[in-house]
Amino acid sequence: MPDPEKFYLTTPIYYVNARPHIGHAYTTIVADAVARRKRALGFDTWFLTGTDEHGQKIERSAKAAGIEPQEFTDRVAAEFRGLWDCMGLTYDDFIRTTEPRHKESVQKFFTLLKERGYIYKGSYTGQYCVFDEAYVDVAPGAPCPDCGRPTETISEENYFFKLSAFERKLLEFYEANPEFIRPETRRNEVISFVRSGLKDLSVSRTSIKWGIPVPSDEKHVIYVWLDALSNYITALGYGSNDPSKFEKYWPADLQIIGKEISRFHCVYWPAFLMAAGLPLPKSIVAHGWLLFEESKMSKSRGNIVRAETILEVLGADALRYFLLREIVFGNDGSFSFDALVQRYNSDLANGYGNLASRTLAMIQKYFDGVIPEAAACDVGICQDAPSYIATFGKEFEALNFSKALESLWGLIGNVDGFLTARAPWKAHGDVSENDMRLFRADVLYTAAEAIRIITALVYPVMPDAAAKVWSQLGLGDIKKADLKNLTWGGLKAGTKLGELGPVFPRAEKDAITRMQDIEQQNAKATEATQPTTPEHHTSKLESIVDGLAVAISESTSESSAVAAFTDAIRNDIHAGSQTPPAAAETQTTAVPAPAETSGIAAAAGQAAVSQENAKITIDDFAKVELRVAQIKVAERVPKADKLLRLEVDLGYETRQILAGIAEAYTPESLIGRKVVIVANLAPRKLRGLESNGMIVAASLGDGKPVLAGFLEDIEIGARLK
């Protein structure tokens, strides 16, 4: 018998500057579902996850907590691993970048790149984003173009990787391997980034100590991204005395990441591997953000939801199903306790759980708990089952989890309707007792066999529930079952049912309140135990500014100026925790406050007016990233006379922007129009919708906005300088 086909998949290794939340859980649950499905299909599967534990953020966080970096990382890494174990995730290895096995392999990897002529020593002076652990090409004092946080000016000796040598090679590889980066939006972004030109990359630091020392030059530590990305091979024993796992499983078949780290994984990582002469991963797939009430979950926003909260109230399978069914993988997705409970009750308690419970209860009642022999089955259910099996497999393989589950729940609905129509619990006229028994046998076998197929397919998504139903069907341990070739008729007549019990009890009305209370109690406990840091204050001030932005925007037509004003406050908040006040001065557009506006709006206008005559430097101007965008979608925002919701194409991505121009422009007049947007504003919410940027417009004397534009044709995404 030939050896089974191998399948190696990875999650990103999670940065240990904060405890895990359901955003981290989402990535790992997806990987776990894929791993379970591959194992069920007979693949020799290796599933890696772990934690990224080096870098300046960790060094500073540990100092703020008053402990050594190693103790700090030990605590948070234990929380990640503890949560994954509590959720029953089936990872095969958990790599920590502070482990000796990783350190030794990274040093060998660094040495190999240096020996092959791709690493050289130089010096660097420029801006560094501590939050992203990345060097950025911006002016001194300018915010990071990726996260919007303040950057720091550093000047130090570094080792550099010749990233510029791989520009053409990467583009040729992307062209030859269209499945390497998914989805298409991320692929386009990465290709655009590489085409814009690659600069050599710093791969060491001398100003920090928390990292892996450079071999033979220990005043340098290996820069966090070369260190972190290497985990995917060091965990397999690359460069060790036993490289057997590396030789067996590399290259990775699937690497799952969040979209914000696409550049590092799709540009730097393949370039490192090319330089080392190693095979590249087969596919890197980036998922979207998990939004809580339309905002990305993050420590600074203070809107983190703990997975433990959901486990305590509804269980792990409820969370797993919700995340894979509710969110289209690759896109941003929304999470709320209300949506979770609604999906739980409709799909699990009233759907799959109810179908299994009532079918098996009737088999228990009418056939003494033994699967009856059927003379016939419903033609629709029997004939359609192979199509459902094929569709589920095809969509799951393509990582279209939501579509796969939607299709499977179509089968659940059909079987449920079939049972209701046949009503085997009712007496049917003058039908004899024997004929009634045969009728019930046909109906209940059909339903039970469909449940077996549904359970086998849903097992990777809801392993605990599937294991319960499988056992109740009398089929034993699902982990030992052969699920490779599902065909109708696999449930044998005469099989004795196992012990019956509810699979998904209906969630009570207080489930949402209970989860909200648990989160509030946890937030208070965390706030009481964590040291006060500038970031902690910043998140609270930003929450106030978000509320101020909404209040002002709903009381004045000058939404562009409002955005500028509130974003100026945000910049000052961040700058105040990092730089002297003089370096954080920001000019905003003058906003005359209408007489009818609220006191808050008037104060905003006066504050802006007071800066009207302030002068700015070229460095101040460089902070604003202006880009050309084309409007693809324009529609009015319900119950907001002045707001339009726009979707604009930047060439490398599509964004949603809210603009207060509805009184000057009709939605249909804007479709296809090229406009100027401020691309590096922090997202803000208006009327419950998130706006990612700001349309640039002039304000006439009567307050009417006029959009900025061009006489010449200009490329979408071009930056204004």
Checking if the pLDDT of 385 tops 80, the result is yes
Judge contact between 180 and 174, C-beta under 8 A: yes
* pLDDT score at 527: 56
Q: Which amino acid is at 256?
A: I
Packing angle between helix 316-326 and helix 22-40, nearest 10 degrees? Answer: 90
**Phi and psi angles of residue 481, each rounded to the nearest 5 degrees, phi first:** -80, 150
Question: What are the tens digits of pLDDT across the range 556-565?
Answer: 334 444 444 4
Q: How far, CA to CA in Å, does 711 sit from each of 674, 676, 706?
A: 11, 13, 15
d(CA 410, CA 80): 36
Question: What are the tens digits of pLDDT across the range 74-124?
Answer: 999 999 999 999 999 999 999 999 999 999 999 999 999 999 999 999 987
Domains with residue ranges and CATH for the chain: 336-529 (1.10.730.10), 534-617 (no CATH), 624-720 (2.40.50.140)
Mean pLDDT of 449-467: 98
* pLDDT score at 428: 74
Checking if the pLDDT of 694 tops 70, the result is yes
* pLDDT score at 237: 97
Question: What are the tens digits of pLDDT across the range 282-305?
Answer: 999 999 988 876 555 555 555 678
DSSP annotation string for 204-260: EESS--SSPEETTEEEEEE-HHHHHHTHHHHTTTTTSS--HHHHHHPSPSEEEEEGG
What's the half-sphere exposure (Cβ side, CA atoms, 13 Å) at 131?
Answer: 16
Q: Which helix (H) or strand (E) holds 439?
A: helix 433-458
Say how many C-beta atoms besides its own lie within 10 A of residue 693's C-beta: 25
Q: How confident is the model at residue 242 (pLDDT cuts 50, 70, 90)?
A: very high
Mean pLDDT of 472-482: 95
Checking if the pLDDT of 470 tops 70, the result is yes
d(CA 92, CA 108): 24
Average pLDDT, the chain: 84
N residues, the chain? 721
* pLDDT score at 581: 30
* pLDDT score at 600: 30
* pLDDT score at 657: 93
**Phi and psi angles of residue 569, each rounded to the nearest 5 degrees, phi first:** -60, -45
Q: How confident is the model at residue 240 (pLDDT cuts 50, 70, 90)?
A: very high
Say how many C-beta atoms besides its own lie within 10 A of residue 669's C-beta: 11
Question: What are the tens digits of pLDDT across the range 192-219?
Answer: 999 999 999 999 988 888 999 999 998 9
Asked whether the whole model's pTM tops 0.85, one would answer no
Checking if the pLDDT of 20 tops 80, the result is yes
* pLDDT score at 689: 80
**Phi and psi angles of residue 429, each rounded to the nearest 5 degrees, phi first:** 60, -130
The percentage of residues in the chain with a pLDDT greater than 90, rounded to a whole number, is 59
Question: What are the tens digits of pLDDT across the range 417-433?
Answer: 999 999 999 877 778 88
Checking if the pLDDT of 575 tops 70, the result is no
Q: Which helix (H) or strand (E) holds 128?
A: strand 119-129
Q: How confident is the model at residue 472 (pLDDT cuts 50, 70, 90)?
A: very high
The mean-pLDDT minimum among 133-142, 405-414, 525-534, 617-626 falls in 525-534
